[in-house]
Amino acid sequence: MDGQQIFRNRLASIGSFAEEKHGVLTEQEIRNYFDGVTLADGQWDLVYRYLETLKIRIAGRKETSDYILMPEAASAGDRAVSEERGHGEDDVLDLYLEDMKQVAPAAPGEEEVLTKAAAEGEDMAVKRLAELYLYHVIAIAREYAGKGSLPVGDLIQEGNVGLLTGISMLAERPAGTSAADYLIGSIREAMELYILELGDQANIGKRVEEKVNRLHQAIRELERDLEHKVTKEEVSAFLGMPLAEIEDLLRMAGDGLELE
């Protein structure tokens, strides 16, 4: 696995790690979490600021985040409130677009200068480059969301992870690859991985549902033939399925299925 993939995976999963720590991490814990990833000080600052947008507090560090990577009202909780009030993904997108009005367009030659400085970890260059490429994050998210019932807010968030990954790994991009192609490719790759994960989860859910239905049918057949309430061991032998898997399926089925 290359450095970019390692960084992306850890950036995407650090939220769960922070939850275990009650939403508060030390800088040392963050650096340990990204062990094996080499970043300049300015790039670490980008990671810290991004974590602040996710409402992860960094112990001993003054909050300074002014990135537009996560509009205040676009958190998961606020999205749920918005949907209860009859609003949805359009509101999330509108929040991003409204905040994007604060970002001045790139001046001629500015992006080339920013790319070089950001690759060296210069904080202001990293920040400015991230702002400029948020337009690409939003555009690509809308493109993918238009191909199916995909949540545009979640796509934007995954794209942000890809963008930060790309910026942090600019110095390691393959020779001959332009910064623009590298960053846009990183945004797309992050969103496509998210879409694949959604598909995998749907397939897993479908397979589990099929197994629960099969278990339900087996219980009815056995109880009809044996004329008594069957045990987990009897169902396990009948289906040729491990007892542990039978127990897992019963838990997933909730109160809908009962065995002796």
Domain positions in the chain = 3-201, 206-256
Distance in Å from the first CA to the final CA of the chain: 48
Give the pLDDT score at 190.
87
pLDDT the model gives residue 2: 62
pLDDT given at position 204: 58
Mean pLDDT of successive 10-residue segments in the chain (260 residues)? 70 83 89 82 75 80 61 44 44 72 86 91 85 89 80 84 87 90 92 81 69 84 85 83 76 64
Count Cβ neighbours within 10 Å for each residue of 67-81 and write b for 16 or more, e otherwise: bbbbbeebbeebbee
pLDDT given for residue 260 in this prediction:
59
Burial of 187 (0-12, 13-18, 19+ CB in 10 A): buried
Mean pLDDT (the chain) is: 78
Distance CA(73)–CA(63), nearest Å, equals 18
Residue among 190, 136, 135, 143 nearest 162 (CA): 190
Tens digits of per-residue pLDDT, 53-63? 677 888 887 76
20, 30, 105, 95: which is closest to 61 by C-alpha?
30
Place of tokens 């690509």: 140
Which pLDDT does position 19 carry in this prediction? 86
Name the residue type at position 201.
Q
pLDDT 10s digits, 207-235: 777 788 888 888 888 888 888 888 888 88
Q: Which residue has the tokens 């044996």?
A: 226
